[in-house]
Every structure is written in structure tokens, then in C-alpha cells.
Structure 1
């Protein structure tokens, strides 16, 4: 019998199946979901915030349909309180990749009286009405989101294909089984389906994929110097959303953002993670999800996210 050189890679056979790592499996699942939606629905759209998860979604959509262009537009619900770096990144990506962008503006709704500012100044909960109106006006029947099950309890309950009723509301009792990666996109006129290709990914998976694929992100995801003040255990930065309040001291610190959203409720974390490798090491050592650590709107109550999802939120 001839000895096998351990340094020689053998061809894949039934006895020696090809090795698929975790990122390959997650990527393959997400691409499969994108193609399923393209085959089942008439007018899909990708929710895009400029954050890491939605940027990974766009990257996966390119992979799913290349060399053809991404066949779906992007939809951004702009609170008017977004970080300037994120908006600049959004516009650069749309121009670079020749994508179509639909913007639903919370500020427009406030200006014409359809919505009112909240006493706490937070606009995240105000996104629901512009989102649902944009879905209805554009007749979007499938809406891709970057939600992951590891982020928050309510998101852990949601299926990959999540049926929403004619009012955009989520009912956990109407969740459908998804055995053997079979997805049921059937819906009545007026209803739509939220689709979550990243459901089975973790924050660490996202960052390892960003590293492997060399995906660009807004610079605020990496350590930088910024003036911040502390509120409810989080480092917030001042902006058009207001702050600091009386007694809140502004300090300059080295921070980064683990998630991006409305500036009034999205906190930074102290960090020396200047590169993707640094971030991966930091996330691997963390015991808090990014939403639990840096999103004030999720701290209102234990069911805060689930309550918003029932109303039609992301």
C-alpha cells in the first residue's frame, strides 16, 4: 500500500467529501434565500441602513445574481438623525454599485404633521409608519432585512420568511414551519413577507465574513476619537437629536460603534479596535449582543422589540 503524503490535498470523492466551513455554509444559505425570493415574488426590496448587516446583504445579493445587476432596489428609512458618515457611505455605495435607492423620510412626516416628535427625542419608533407607507406605495411584496436571531429575543422567534398582515404587523402565531430549507412565501393581497437571510449568522460570523470578503463599512465601526457623554450606561454623541442634558459631561474618548441607527439612542463603546482583526478579537470576547450593549430603545422594556415588531417595525 502506498503511503499518502499528508501535505497533498486529495480530490473530493464520496469517501473524501469536500470540506465546507461555517462561513461557506452561511453564505450558501443566504444566496439560496435571495434566489428563492427572486423566483417567488414580484417586487422585492432590500432594507438598507448603511450598517454592517445590510451592507453584507447587498454583498450577498451581488453574489447571488452576478454577472447580472442586483434586481432589487434598496429602501432606507431615514430618521433625520443618522450619523453623517453612514449617510455618506450609503450614497457612495449606491453610486458605485449602480443601485436604485428609495428613501422614506421620518422628517417629512414630522414636517407635515403625520408624526410628532417623542418627548425623549428618539425617532427609532417613528420609522414604522414611513416604512409601511413605502412598502404599500411601491407594492413591495418581499422585504429583505438584516435581522439576526442572536441580536434579541423577539428576533430569535422569527422565521426566515416572516409573514406580515395587511397592516404590516407580525403575529408569532402565524409563523410557518421551515423544514428542510423549504420556504413558504404565500400571502394574500396587501400582505407582504419579511425575509431574513442572515437569521442564522452571529455578530462574529458577520465580522469574519467582512474580513474574508474585504467588505467596506462606515468608519464609525472602527475606533476613532469622538466627543461623547454618558447616559444610562452608554456613550452618546451630540447632534441634531439633542444632548447633552444638564449634568451630562462631554468627554473625548476613543470609541467605536457596534451598530448604527438613530443617533439619539445608539451608543458607542470604548474600544481600541482599529482594524477588522481587532474588532473580531473584541467581539469574540464580548458577552453582550450589540443591541443589548448599545441600543437604548431596546431597554425600554423586556418586550420592547417584540411590541414594535407587532406594530410593523423591522
Structure 2
């Protein structure tokens, strides 16, 4: 897998740390924080695809169930649920998302390729239909509104700067977690599963168990994104886990680059920028056309995603160095005769 260079990584971290000092609140809350939230959910999909070779369309459903669990155990304007102290509510939400992710992996463990994609999509649409029709738990079509975000002292976590710091900080931690996990024996076995699950089974590994564990970890990551999404929006509705939402996560992952986990956040930033300023660039009714056109251009001309643009500078540098080396070698005078040729000429030839 391709990795981001350390120098670029430090530059990006410094830019994110200095952003609250130079950017207005609108950009912190509606662009960067929102991109971090979407990027976390897309990271769960990118992790499964990059290292496990599995494309799951149920990640937004996992995030939505975690958000519903958090809303149900928090004080909300819909009057549903049983309010708990927010640390317990957060633990319950993450547990629900992780367990549902593991359950999805167990159901889909015996499939692969397009069959796994379609099965996870069916699971996601089942969650959407159940949330839309259930009135006691999910408040049906209206969803759960007016969810109160936790407070730390006098600091509300859904305020623009705290939400930005929390979202970006958790995004960095989860990305570091993924990069650590893939270097562990479990991560190496997962990559072996991606290459050939039959060979992995022949070596004595439990293929189904590894798939379930991978889906559980991806479910935990998506659950974090779902809770942040709830705090950002202040409500959760069935539309947040519908087909359009699930497709958007796949589009974000492909835009950023499926071969790099960090590409999920690059794709999310591009997606949020288009979503926010599409009315200024294009007709409001043709927003999906714009997203589709950008997606098509990226797939055709940037197979590694927008994060692949960072490879252009090293490639250009290597091309310049190669050209200079070629020019220097061509400027060295060449001799017509090699040492072996001169030696052969001094040897008398046999005559017939």
C-alpha cells in the first residue's frame, strides 16, 4: 500500500493545528469538521477494502445505528429513550455499532466480490427500512431530533471550535490506529486474506474469524463517525442511512483513493467542498451531475484518487534527475574501441 510521506504528514498536521487561528468559524464547522466526520466513516470502508479486499455498503448503516443508540440514551427533543450519563451513552453507542459491524461481517463472511457488496447493501437498506417504519424506537420518518450534545464544564462539544478539534483529533487517532493494526499479525493475516483466503485457510488461519474481526473494527470506526455526525447535526433520521448516504461514502472513498486509508479524508474534503459550493458552481438541481462528473474524471485520470496528486512531485523530481544523469552520460567522450577489442586486434589471426 502506498503511504503518505512523513514530511507531508507533518505539514498537514501543522496546518490542521493552525486552522482555528486563521480560518473563520464557517470553514471550521461546515467544511473541515464535516469532512472529518464523513472521512471517519469512509475510513472504515477504506480499511476493509484496502487490507481485506472487502467492499461494504453497510458502513453508513453502522454509523447510523450508533447515532440512533446515542440519541436514544441522550436527552432529546423527541422525548424517546432512557437518558443516561453521556459516557455510558457513548459506550452503548460504540458497542451497538461494533456488534452490528461484527454481525454484518459474520453474515457476509461466506461471500466475496460483488456478492459481498450486494449483501452488505441489502443489510444497509434493511436498516433504513426498519428505521423508517419503526415508530417506538426510531420515531419513524421524523427521526430523533433536538439531541443535546455533552458538555465538559462550560464547554459544549457541538460548539464550532470544540467540534472541529474533537473531529479532527479523533480522525488522526483512528487513522493512526489503522496504520498500527495493519502492521500487527492480525493485519498481516488480513492482507493475506485479501490476496487469497484459500491459501490463508490452508495455513491454518480462521478466515471467518478474521473477517468478523475486521468488520468489527470497521464498525467501531464507523460508530465514532456516527456519534460525531449526531453531535454535528443535532438529530438523526432514516435519510442519514439511506441509499444516497451509503453511496456517498463509497464515492468519498474512491475520490480520495482506496489504496490509502488517508485518502478517505482527502475524498471527504473534496466531497464537502462540492456539496457546500455546488450552487455557486453549478445548478442546484444538477448537483448529482456535478458529483458524477468529478467522480468520472477522478476514476479515469487519477486511479489512485486525489491523494495520488502528492506523488507527482517525487515523480517529477526523479524524472529531472534521470534526465540530468542521461545528459551527463552523453557528454562523456566514448572510445571506439574497447580494451577487449584492442587486445583481440593485437593477436595474430590464423590463415587458412
More strand by share: 1
More helix by share: 2
Pairwise TM-score range, normalised by the shorter structure: under 0.3
TM-score (norm 2): 0.23
TM-score (norm 1): 0.25
